[in-house]
Chain A
Amino acid sequence: MEKTGRSETVREMAGLDEGTPLFAQVAERLAADIADGGLAEGERVPSTNELAAFYRINPATAAKGINVLADEGLLDKRRGIGMFVAAGARAALLARRRAGFTDRYVEPLLTEATRLGIGSDELIALIKECSNEREGVAV
Chain B
Amino acid sequence: MTPVISVTGLTRRYPGQVALDDVNLTIGTGTITGLLGRNGAGKTTLLRILAGQEFPSAGSVRVFGSPPAENEKVLRRLVLVREDQEYPDFGYPDFKVSRALRAASFCYQNWDAGLASSLLEDFGLRANKAIKSLSRGQRSALGITIGLAARAEVTLFDEPYTGLDAVARQVFYDRLLAEYADFPRTVVLSTHLIDEAAALFENVVLIDRGRVVLDAAADGLRGMVTTVSGPVLAVDSFTKGRPVWERRGLGSQVSVVIVGQISGEDRERARSLGLDLTPLSLQQLVVHTSGRQVGAGSLAGRTSA
Do chains A and B stick together as partners?
yes
Interface size range on B against A: 35 or more
Residue B200 is within 8 A (CB to CB) of chain A in the complex: yes
| Count of inter-chain pairs, beta carbons less than 8 A | 82
Interface 9-residue window, one of A20-28, A85-93, A126-134: A20-28
Nearest residue (CB) in A for B28 is: A60
In the docked arrangement, what's the CA distance between A111 and B201, Å?
A: 38
Rounded to whole Å, the gap between the CB of A100 and the closest CB of chain B is 10
Q: Which of A1-28 contact B (CB under 8 A)?
A: 3, 6-7, 9-11, 14, 16-23
Contact, CB under 8 Å: A21 / B222: yes
Contact status of A21 and B223, CB under 8 A, knowing A6-B170, A52-B181, A56-B173: yes
What secondary structure prevails in chain A residues at the interface with B?
helix
Which residues from chain B contact A84 at a C-beta distance below 8 Å?
none
Nearest residue (CB) in B for A53 is: B177
Contact, CB under 8 Å: B226 / A19: yes
In the docked arrangement, what's the CA distance between A103 and B201, Å?
A: 33
Residue B268 is within 8 A (CB to CB) of chain A in the complex: yes
Partner of A61, one of B195, B199, B223, B271: B199
Which residues from chain A contact B181 at a C-beta distance below 8 Å?
49, 52-53, 59
In the docked arrangement, what's the CA distance between A27 and B172, Å?
A: 26
Contact, CB under 8 Å: A58 / B199: yes
Contact, CB under 8 Å: A53 / B174: yes
Residue A82 is within 8 A (CB to CB) of chain B in the complex: no
Contact, CB under 8 Å: B166 / A10: no
- Highest count of chain A CB atoms <10 Å: which of B196, B268, B279: B196
Residue B103 is within 8 A (CB to CB) of chain A in the complex: no
Residue B3 is within 8 A (CB to CB) of chain A in the complex: no
Write the residues of chain B forming the contact surface with A, with a CB cutoff of 8 angstroms: 31-32, 166-167, 170, 173-174, 177-178, 180-181, 195-202, 218-220, 222-223, 226, 262, 264, 268, 271-272, 274, 277-281
